[in-house]
Amino acid sequence: MYYVSKRLEISSAHSLSLSYESKCEALHGHNWIVIVHCKSATLNADGMVTDFTTIKREIAGRLDHRNLNEVFDFNPTAENIARWICDQVEHCYKVEIWESENNKAIYERD
């Protein structure tokens, strides 16, 4: 099995729709750290699991310096964003996303 990981830094804003009162309901920004993990038993014709540039284009290219409420049709929590990222990248099986130094969400396929 081959494994690769790509670390991205993304600056974006969001506001959350929550069932309780929270300051996170107001528009606010994060400097997200995202780690995309991919694996494959075989390599593509270029000798890669997936190209790092493709991951950057598909994720940072779509999320960096954006209001995530305008990008997604779901509540843009770190957990939901992690799942969405995993669905965008070929061979992705796990995404780690920090919205701050102390707050991290992980999505991993079963």
Write out pLDDT tens, residues 76-105. 999 999 999 999 999 999 999 999 999 999
Give residue-wise pLDDT tens across range 7-23.
999 999 999 999 999 99
Q: Write the burial class of residue 81 (CB in 10 Å: 0-12 exposed, 13-18 middle, 19+ buried).
A: buried
Q: How many CB atoms lie within 10 A of CB 15?
A: 15
pLDDT tens for each residue of 34-65: 999 999 999 999 999 999 999 999 999 999 99
CATH topology of domain 2-108: Tetrahydropterin Synthase; Chain A (3.30.479)
Domain ranges across the chain: 2-108
Length of the chain counted residue by residue: 110
Distance CA 70, CA 36 (A): 22
What is this structure's pTM?
0.95
